[in-house]
Amino acid sequence: MANLRESDKKMSVAKKMLDLGKQSSVIREIFEYGLKRKAEIGAENVFDFSLGNPSVPAPPQLNDIIKQLIDSVPAEKLHGYTSAPGDQSVREAVADYIQETFRFPATAELIYMTCGAASGLAICLNALTTQDDEVIVFAPFFPEYRIYVEHSNAKLIIVPCNEHDFQPDLAGLEQAITANTKAIIVNSPNNPTGTCYREDTIQKLAEILKQKQLEFKKPIYILSDGPYRELIYDIELPYLPHYYDNTIIIYSYSKSISLAGARIGYIFVSPLAENANDLFVAICGAGRSLGYVCAPSLFQFLIKECIGMTADLSIYKKNRDILYNGLKDLGFTAVYPSGAFYLFVKSPIQDAEKFCELAKKYELLLVPSDSFGYAGFVRIAYCVSTEQIINSLPAFKQLAKEYNLLP
Ligand code: PLP
């Protein structure tokens, strides 16, 4: 506040928010360009790989469950407010699911229903951080992290992943932790690389954090951002609370069951976390201060009925195989994705933005990795129809020819 200029003070709106509102995300810009292009030349001629919006429909049973809920639950309950952390029976269902699936002790008292992972992240960061606190993320990272961290008054600290496998650089992490470190965001399966952190990575990461907690005599929390938890291909994914006590799970049903627009997810504070109860109360306070009165009631009740169901995720695996193998055959180098629905491809030139511009010539809409805090790659969101992937391969071939990549 001290360095706010006089002209800023006279503004009718908050400058910080005005600036944020003006800044459109690169991903959205590409998506908007795609819409324009589709109107001009036909949707089937544009290969839009920009957005992580699930293309596999939610299971049809969900509509039946919604109809049953409408018929059976009194309207004042179905459409009314629930208590702020969520309906008790829904929180119990989520806790039971965690216990059964991950064999980890969970209680409804530490579950807070949210509007997706986005609000879960914003709430947790606000619950944890004050000025001078630092939050570490591994690059490349989901671009909204910067906004949530900076708007919770904390400082974003970036530690790059190892480029050979896109696991976090643990030596870099060790160096980056200071007395001000409050939390680390862990996102596996990862957006944008599609990598999943191996068990040995998680074990070593937990060891480092335990040592640093002792050194600085304060808790450091892991915020495990896991909206892609079920989107894994031929691997097992470690459940972080088993490895590290000070873990907060942030989960969402946006991707696993294709409910992105329903805005529903949860926060789960590990009962083993230091001050778990106070932490939970702070989460309730942060939710309140951010105006999240409660998560949408209808969708809370829906989750209770369909917990454990997923959309047909096998389609993403099929897409991954066709795209990864197809691009490899054309001479591109990509990170082999074991989860999520993103392929991270090395740009044949260091300037990934320039490469994406050129790709537009072949109607290929790719996102430069600079948007994810990392240079020299592009992200391809393969949560599109398998037909689009197959039809796009000749365009990728043209692109490969431009850079003499073809073997
Ligand atoms: N975290 C990551 C890594 C994401 O990729 C996304 C969405 O794409 C989110 C959080 C936000 O998801 P939600 O729709 O659940 O708010």
* pLDDT tens digit sequence for 226-240: 999 999 998 999 999
Task: Determine if ligand 1 sits within 6 Å of the CB of residue 117.
Answer: yes
Report the percent of the chain where pLDDT is more than 90: 93
Q: Which residue has the higher pLDDT, 371 or 85?
A: 85
The residue to mutate among 255, 258, 259, 299, having the most atoms of ligand 1 within 8 angstroms of its beta carbon, is: 255
Assess whether the C-beta atom of 142 lies below 6 angstroms from ligand 1.
yes
How confident is the model over 197-225, as a mean pLDDT? 98
pLDDT at 1: 45
- Report the nearest atom of ligand 1 relative to the CA of 52: 8
Count of Cβ atoms closer than 10 Å to residue 353 Cβ: 17
**Cα-to-centroid distance, 89 and ligand 1 (Å):** 25
| Ligand 1 in reach of 260 Cβ (< 6 A) | yes
**221 has pLDDT over 50:** yes
Distance 400 CA to ligand 1 centre (A): 31
Cα–Cα distance measured from residue 135 to residue 151, given in angstroms and rounded to the nearest whole number: 12
pLDDT at 120: 98
Q: Is the pLDDT of residue 2 over 60?
A: no
> What is the reported pLDDT for 3?
57
Rounded distance from Cα 345 to ligand 1 centre (Å): 21
Is any atom of ligand 1 closer than 6 Å to the C-beta of 116? Answer: yes
Q: In terms of DSSP H, where are the helices of 84-198?
A: 88-102, 116-128, 144-150, 170-176
Question: How many Å lie between the centroid of ligand 1 and the Cα of residue 214?
Answer: 32
The strand pair at 265-269 and 247-252 is best described as: antiparallel
Report how far ligand 1's centroid is from the alpha carbon of 191 (Å).
9
Which position has the token pair 């999520």? 340
Nearest ligand 1 atom to alpha carbon 253? 15
Q: How far is the CA of 260 from the centre of ligand 1 (A)?
A: 9
> Does residue 2 or residue 51 have the better pLDDT?
51
Listed in sequence order, the residues at least 6 apart from 163 whose beta carbon sits closer than 8 Å to its beta carbon are: none
Residue nearest to atom 5 of ligand 1 (CA): 191
Nearest-atom number in ligand 1 for the CA of 260 is 14
Give 73 Cα–ligand 1 centroid separation in angstroms: 30
pLDDT for the residue numbered 4: 60
> Given the CA of residue 190, which atom of ligand 1 is nearest to it?
3
Residue 225 Cβ < 6 Å to ligand 1: yes
Mean pLDDT of the chain: 95
DSSP 320: H
Tens-digit pLDDT profile for residues 104-137: 999 999 999 999 999 999 999 999 999 999 999 9
Q: What separation in Å is there between the alpha carbon of 227 and the centre of ligand 1?
A: 6
Which ligand 1 atom is the nearest neighbour of the CA of 115? 16
Q: In this structure, are residues 258 and 285 in contact, taking their beta carbons and an 8 Å threshold?
A: no
Using CA atoms in the order 242, 248, 253, 255, what is the torsion angle rounded to 10 degrees? -80
Taken in order of first residue, the domains within the chain and their CATH numbers are: 8-58+312-402 (3.90.1150.10), 81-306 (3.40.640.10)
Task: Say what the alpha-carbon torsion angle 165, 171, 177, 178 is, to the nearest 10 degrees.
Answer: -160
